[in-house]
Amino acid sequence: MFVIILISSLAVLLAWLSRFEKFKYGLELSFILLAFFMSIRYNFGNDYVGYLDYFKNASLFANFKNSIQSNQFEIGWNLLSYLFRPIGFFGMIIFLTIFEYFVIYRFIKRYVPVEWYWFAVFIFTFNVAHMLICASMMRQFLAMCIFLLSVDFIIQKKWIISILFVLLASSFHTSAIILIPFCFIGFLKITLTSKKVIIWFSVYILIYFFATYFLSDLYYKIISLEQFEKYQYYLNQAKIVNGSGLGIIFCLIMFFFVLYTQKNQN
């Protein structure tokens, strides 16, 4: 854990230095460091061994058949495992990590002001729900990064291309299909003020705390369906994470920090 904190802190520092002309490539160095560190991980996370065992037995047509019959892994992941067999599982991790971290870097570079690079990297590295958890959830992280590539087209109101990206992402993790409505956000006219941010975040907090009471029965019925059997393992894991309340505390800290800095700038 000490090494992870050290690498993450150095990455944040490099991103912060990118505001200066002499260190204008600080963000690039930050993600090169992170990508290198995370690409050489071994037996990291709960799912690593399962992915490795599946990769060793990868067979193109057999995997497609098993995917349809057992819903164990999505077809996109089956194909990916088969294609990377010549260079091995470790080679696939290196390739995917480089691709995924390039997508995250590109997203920050394009949509985050240079003076906020460090904060974006801080959120990504120090919020365990991002970098660390994503290193374990290989299919989910790949699906999320593919969706991030669609943001350009969402903004340009090219919803057909955006939906194609979502469908591609869902071939690696079925849950990505719920992102289709977001492909039409570009058609909405949204302006954010401090007051609106407070209102929306308050609604989010209420939903976060009370959704469990109102929607739990429906959620358990859905997750108990045979089609979602492969996700039932994560149900108990989610109880542990959500029950701690650490995620909400972290979001609150970031929320008030952004409001404070915005007030000072105004």
Same domain, 169 and 220: no
Q: Which pLDDT value is given to residue 234?
A: 52
Mean model confidence pLDDT for the chain:
78
Same domain, 146 and 203: no
* Burial of 85 per CB tally in 10 Å (0-12, 13-18, 19+): middle
Same domain, 141 and 229: no
Q: What is the percent of the chain with per-residue pLDDT over 90, rounded to a whole number?
A: 35
Q: DSSP letter at 224?
A: T
Q: Which pLDDT value is given to residue 121?
A: 94
Same domain, 7 and 52: yes
Same domain, 18 and 129: yes
pLDDT in tens, 128-184: 778 888 888 889 899 999 999 999 999 899 999 999 999 999 989 888 888 899 899
Number of domains in the chain: 2
pLDDT in tens, 180-224: 998 998 887 766 666 776 777 777 677 666 665 666 666 566 556
Same domain, 177 and 231: no
Q: What is the percent of the chain with per-residue pLDDT over 70, rounded to a whole number?
A: 68
pTM attached to this predicted model: 0.75
- Using CA atoms, how far residue 42 sits from 47, 85, 90, 242, in Å, is 12, 17, 8, 27
Q: Which pLDDT value is given to residue 261?
A: 54
Higher pLDDT among residues 104 and 195, named by residue: 104
Same domain, 170 and 256: no
User: At which of 161, 187, 213 does a domain end?
Assistant: 187
Same domain, 105 and 219: no
User: At which of 134, 164, 187 does a domain end?
Assistant: 187
User: At which of 143, 162, 187 does a domain end?
Assistant: 187
pLDDT in tens, 106-120: 999 998 889 989 999
Same domain, 230 and 181: no
Same domain, 159 and 205: no
**What mean pLDDT is predicted for residues 48-65?**
70
Pick from 23-32, 64-73, 128-137 the range whose average pLDDT is largest.
23-32
Same domain, 29 and 154: yes
Same domain, 90 and 214: no
Domain holding 265, by residue range, is: 191-266
